[in-house]
Structure 1
Amino acid sequence: MTSCAEPPAPPAPSGASLWRHRDFRRYLTGQTASVAGSSITQMALPVLAVVHLDATTAQVAWLAFLGQLPPALLALLAGALADRYSKRRQMITSDLVSAAVLTTVPVSAALGTLTLSQLMVVAVVQGAASGLHDAAAISLLPSLVDRSLIQRGNSRVGALFAIAATAGSHLGAALTAVLGPGRALLGDVASFLISAGCTARIQAREPARARPKNGRLRDEIGEGLSYVFADDRLRVLTLVNATTSFALGLLNTLWALYLLRTLAVSATAFGVLLGLGALGAAAGALAAPALARRWGPGPMMLTALAITPLTQIPLLLASPGLAWQIAIGAALFLQLACAGAAGTTQRSIRQIVTTAGMQARMQAVSTWLTAGSRPVAALLAGGLGTWIGVRPTLTAGTFLLLVPFVVLARSPLRALRHMPDRPPTSPRTGRDPVLSPLARGTAPPAVPTPARPEDDRHDRSPGGDAT
């Protein structure tokens, strides 16, 4: 993991690369470190529970469930808080809470007092802190870069996040082997501190927040829901996210079990397959702006959603053997490349068309639906897998991947040829009433708009959302 500490640099000249923009680089460094650190915990925590605390299968499932539940329950509240208060302060506070609660695990392990109940409490607290952090982090990006650079920024973020997640998993495995799973978690603690430090060093001012008419967060949450579902573009893309997340949640619940047990894939080969998937996600995210310019965002996303179910065919037809493992690896690369390209593009569209004062709540609605669908999908996968078998359940999940394709194909977005230019304007003033001074042009944009034709400027692009 890297540090964001670096000497001050002069403002980026017009047309400068995003990599030369200090605030974007600090944001990217901190969030990439956080993703890598989270992958360390995802690797080390189950080992700690199973090997050192003799957790049963049901207890391991509960540990995973408790970690996933808070983001789903708190998504709407987290978005409302991020739109009402400082996003950077919410990110820093969440990082410090996560670091503090996670530190208790290696300390308790060293003292011999660690219990499974403590791990579950840590999972709940960290899950809640992560939900609050992510709601603010995702919605902060549009205030750091000019709107014409949102797709390019998301492209860089998506690619580095995919690589960081895989690197963090490998680092977690190495730290677990060398230091033990308890001490390995200190790597994630360090990542939270790096993330907080980098966020604190971001200098760009956040958009001015409109004073709420009353102090009730419930009303602001309701405004976010109404805002998303009243806009055809936001509604369609949010439903695409939610249905994709549900289908992938069902498939991912049984994917590893099917590969390791039914297809007899070795642990080494399994790791290689995961690495290929991460490379595919990074490649898709990086290629998204160029693909969107060439084919149009709508046709590109529609094609990606059409290809995704086809990538499941090698898995469904496979039998044990190297040839099938290669086929599955190639299909996984293609699947996650499609996910990276479509995911970064749809997120960019949603951020571009959303006014500054609604960014976090807009994202929170998507997170709420996608995160909430995963536990339901996991329970359905378990029930179907027991009732009709693993392979038929994976087949059902493959057919569910057709649903987001149909949702997008039935909407006008399927023919979108250019990235949207700006959010809706006020009918009285002709401009967005809650845009920041940067977006309104009263101060230089955080990243200057490149000197290119207007149609060529719309190029920019984590979850699931898969999220």
Structure 2
Amino acid sequence: MTSSTDSSSGARPSLWQHRDFRRYLSGQAASVTGSSISSMVIPVLAVLELDATTAEVAWLTFLGQLPPALLALHAGALADRHSKRKQMITGDLVSAAALASVPVAAALDRLSLTQLMLVAAVQGAAGVLHDAAAISLLPSLVDRSLLQRSNSRIGGLFAVAATAGSNLGAALTALLGPARALLGDVLSYLVSAWCTARIQAPESPRPAAGDRRLHTEIGEGLSYVSGDHRLRTLTLVNATTSFALALLNTLWALYLLRSLAMSAIAFGVVLGLGALGAAAGALAAPSLAARYGPGPMMLAALAITPLAQIPLLLASSGLVWQFAIGAALFLQLACAGAAGTTQRTIRQVVTADGMQARMQAVSTWLTSGARPVAALLAGGLGTWIGVRPTLVAGTCLLIVPLVVLYRSPLRSLLAMPPPAPTGPTVPHPSVAVDVRHDRSSEGGS
């Protein structure tokens, strides 16, 4: 693993003096901004330009969400086997090429909904390849003692970039039209690829794959995560939280805009407050974890999250309730940002170099696979029992990750656990379990 060669040798080196981290952060922020442009523009393009039906819009969303559920484990195994930077660049260039085909087809008056669905699927698959490598590359760029601060900066910047991307997408759509607005996302992928190509730090050495099959390495990743109680607990927390929030988010916009008669401007302001909350939570995470301990801080964040849903469930139309909903969303996403940044750091710290991508892929696979199922469940329950009762059910589901963490020894973790050994050798899963459980007992509460 490579620590910063650009920072001074003080006790608290500045991440902003770390050239490779700046390049990594700039590239990923550009990618997030561009993805937010597409997330805003593609539905507009489908509905307003191609007259898509409700079912066709649902299919478009489904095809965009399907690749992470199908390919995350394979992408993680490939990232641990090959160069992570090359995989990131490949994903960026494939996404750029797929999106560039949309304005070209629109200019030729040949754009169809089928092409848009294919682009969504290809972009989703390329995004899985990129993200699996990008998240697991960070521990090889900075020393593990800096991971908490690094993830904090990343989480805060990404929340702002996502909001900026949505606003930029709206502006580009107004100026250029929805098809040409996607050129903003094409440019963002090219910027991301260029920044990634300029990273100079060597990656962690990889063991030779030999004649081992990819599914064998995928199995090692699953065993590795399930064999370590810390990774297993945090992955289950992620998956159950993702399922509950996906159920809520499926109906949230419909509930606010239709049931509570919230205007589009007020809805945008509420979403902006949520993004600010996510950024604030991510930036505050290192200080909160240092003061209260990572375990108690995450437990408190998970306990506050369902409570923050109460204003939404009790709300009626009116300006006062709009302020209450905005404040509640700020608090909820601040908790999500703080807990998410901390749990990601713990998982990166305790995972051996050769398993970073596969460890992350297991979490991505479970969380991504939960979202389409939750969306279908939300649609069914919303039709059967109504929107508000379905939101109540989703709020109750947010208690599940709290229970999972509370029943784990991680709830009393007062300091970051000791890092896993670094080096090219990936221990056999059964050996890794024994060693890591011993380290857990030494560095627990």
* TM-score normalised per structure 2: 0.93
Structure 2: how far apart are the matches of 1:59 and 1:269? 28
Task: Show the counterpart of 1:173.
Answer: 170
Cα RMSD after superposing both structures: 1.3
Aligned ranges 1:39-438 → 2 under 5 Å: 39-423=36-420, 425=421, 434=425
Answer with 211-220 or 44-53: which moved more.
211-220
Cα distance, 1:197–1:299 mapped onto 2, change above 3 Å: same
Task: Show the counterpart of 2:6.
Answer: 11
Q: Which amino acid letter does the alignment assign opposite residue 372 of structure 1?
A: G
Q: Which amino acid letter does the alignment assign opposite residue 237 of structure 1?
A: L
Contact kept in structure 2, 1:138 and 1:363, CA below 8 Å: yes
Structure 1: how far apart are the matches of 2:305 and 2:5? 44
Q: Quote the sequence identity (%).
A: 77
Q: Which amino acid letter does the alignment assign opposite residue 271 of structure 2?
A: L
Contact kept in structure 1, 2:278 and 2:334, CA below 8 Å: yes
Question: 1:116-141 deviations in whole A, cap 9, x for unaligned?
Answer: 00000101111000001000000000
Q: State the secondary structure of the residue aligned to 2:129.
A: helix
Question: 1:384-436 deviations in whole A, cap 9, x for unaligned?
Answer: 0000000000000000000000000000000000011211x5xxxxx75538x
Contact kept in structure 2, 1:207 and 1:434, CA below 8 Å: no
Q: State the secondary structure of the residue aligned to 1:265.
A: coil
Q: Gaps spanning 5+ residues in structure 2: where?
A: 427-442
Structure 2: how far apart are the matches of 1:310 and 1:434? 45
Q: Gaps spanning 5+ residues in structure 1: where?
A: 1-8, 426-430, 436-457, 459-467
Contact kept in structure 1, 2:31 and 2:188, CA below 8 Å: yes
Cα offset for 1:380?
0.1
Structure 2: how far apart are the matches of 1:434 and 1:276? 45
* TM-score normalised per structure 1: 0.89
Aligned length: 422
Q: Which amino acid letter does the alignment assign opposite residue 196 of structure 2?
A: T
Task: Show the counterpart of 1:450.
Answer: none
Higher relative contact order (CA 8 A, sep 6+): 1
Cα distance, 1:433–1:193 mapped onto 2, change above 3 Å: closer
Contact kept in structure 2, 1:246 and 1:373, CA below 8 Å: yes
Cα distance, 1:177–1:165 mapped onto 2, change above 3 Å: same
Answer with 205-214 or 175-184: which moved more.
205-214
Contact kept in structure 2, 1:148 and 1:421, CA below 8 Å: no
Higher helix proportion (structure 1 or 2): 2
Structure 1 outlier segments of 4+, above 3 Å: 431-435
Structure 2: how far apart are the matches of 1:422 and 1:76? 24
Q: State the secondary structure of the residue aligned to 2:403.
A: helix
Structure 2: how far apart are the matches of 1:33 and 1:108? 25
Question: 1:142-187 deviations in whole A, cap 9, x for unaligned?
Answer: 0000000000000000000000000000000010011100010000
Q: Which amino acid letter does the alignment assign opposite residue 419 of structure 2?
A: R
Q: Which amino acid letter does the alignment assign opposite residue 86 of structure 1?
A: S
